[in-house]
């Protein structure tokens, strides 16, 4: 993953959508896939804004075993169907190495979540796959540990890896996690891999999404990730941090107005 090994930026090609090239990308979608209607509503909103990458969790790594665990393969099928209908690409988290082959039928990018950043068997399985991987920084991972986790995937033969800063654990409780904005230029300097910033999970706060997105892009991130839900109040996970579709539309318009995102294609 080191710049010393490869000086040129890696561009991850998600069936024609490039991450790490000139144009910053937006990855948006619900925390969890809940229903076909829900995902279709979000997919339509992304399409209308010219956003190409849709996220949505089907295998949810929840803190409590009593919380909604996701729809599993059924959820991936819904994501695929909606993405095909609106010409989008699918990013979804996989938690079990044995599910990667199954997931590759439906997803365009395999997400490895923060809680699994050091699940080495999962990293090896992702390295053996030929589907691009979005690797999130662990909750308490140093930048060095994060890059070693990515190294597992590349050393396994999969060069298509996107790094995602998603906030780290600190003593601060004003935000859900602490967005480590300095990780962005450090990762960009030390590694040739593209870097995204998840502004939703790092902050856990809708009211500061826009300035945090601006900061991420100004610091050199190749894109941002955020959670969008048609009706966040009734969401089965992360109800407090997802934004609704009108708020998303305004958010994207504001980023475009500050010229941190390209105009709608």
| Sites of contact with ligand PEP (CB under 6 A) | 31, 57, 61, 93, 113-115, 136, 166, 198, 201
Contact of residue 124 among Mn ion, ligand PEP, none (CB under 5-8 Å per partner type): none
What DSSP character marks residue 228?
B
Pairwise CA distance, residues 208 & 257, whole Å: 17
Pairwise CA distance, residues 35 & 144, whole Å: 38
Nearer to Mn ion among residue 10 and residue 202 (C-beta): 202
Nearer to ligand PEP among residue 153 and residue 263 (C-beta): 153
Contact of residue 192 among ligand PEP, Mn ion, none (CB under 5-8 Å per partner type): none
Pairwise CA distance, residues 143 & 56, whole Å: 26
Nearer to ligand PEP among residue 61 and residue 185 (C-beta): 61
The number of residues that bind Mn ion (CB under 5 A) is 2
Q: What is the DSSP string of 131-200?
A: S-EEEEPPTT--HHHHHHHHHHHHHTT---EEEEE--B--S--SSSSB--TTHHHHHHHHBSS-EEEEHH
Q: How far is the CB of 29 from Mn ion (least distance, A)?
A: 10
52 binds Mn ion (CB under 5 A): no
Q: Which of 135, 238, 243, 252 binds Mn ion (CB under 5 A)?
A: 238
Q: Evaluate the CA torsion angle 220, 225, 230, 231 in order and state its sign.
A: negative
Closest residue to ligand PEP: CB criterion: 113
Q: How far is the CB of 181 from ligand PEP (least distance, A)?
A: 16
Strand duo 17-19 + 12-14: pairing: antiparallel
31 binds Mn ion (CB under 5 A): yes
The contact set with Mn ion (CB under 5 A) reads 31, 238
């Amino acid at each position: 993953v080191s710049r010393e090994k490869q000086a040129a930026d890696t561009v991850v090609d998600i069936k024609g959508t490039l991450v790490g090239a000139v144009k910053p990308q937006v990855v948006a979608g619900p925390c969890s896939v809940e229903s076909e209607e829900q995902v279709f509503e979000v997919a339509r909103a992304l399409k209308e804004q010219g956003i190409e990458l849709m996220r949505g969790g089907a295998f949810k790594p929840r803190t409590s075993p009593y919380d909604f665990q996701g729809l599993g393969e059924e959820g991936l099928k819904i994501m695929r169907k909606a993405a095909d209908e609106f010409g989008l690409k699918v990013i979804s988290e996989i938690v079990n190495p044995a599910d990667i082959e199954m997931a590759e039928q439906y997803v365009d990018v395999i997400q490895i979540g923060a809680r699994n950043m050091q699940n080495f068997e999962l990293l090896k399985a992702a390295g053996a796959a030929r589907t691009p991987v979005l690797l999130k920084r662990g909750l308490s991972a140093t930048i060095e540990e994060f890059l070693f986790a990515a190294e597992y995937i590349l050393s396994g033969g999969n060069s298509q890896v996107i790094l995602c800063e998603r906030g780290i654990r600190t003593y601060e409780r004003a935000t859900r996690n602490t967005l480590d904005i300095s990780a962005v230029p450090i990762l960009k300097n030390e590694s040739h891999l593209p870097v995204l910033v998840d502004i939703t999970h790092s902050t856990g706060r809708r009211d500061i999404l826009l300035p945090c997105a601006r900061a991420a892009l100004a610091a050199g991130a190749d894109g941002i990730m955020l959670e969008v839900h048609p009706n966040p109040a009734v969401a089965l996970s992360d109800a407090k941090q997802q934004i609704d579709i009108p708020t998303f539309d305004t958010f994207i318009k504001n980023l475009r107005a500050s010229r941190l995102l390209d105009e709608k294609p």
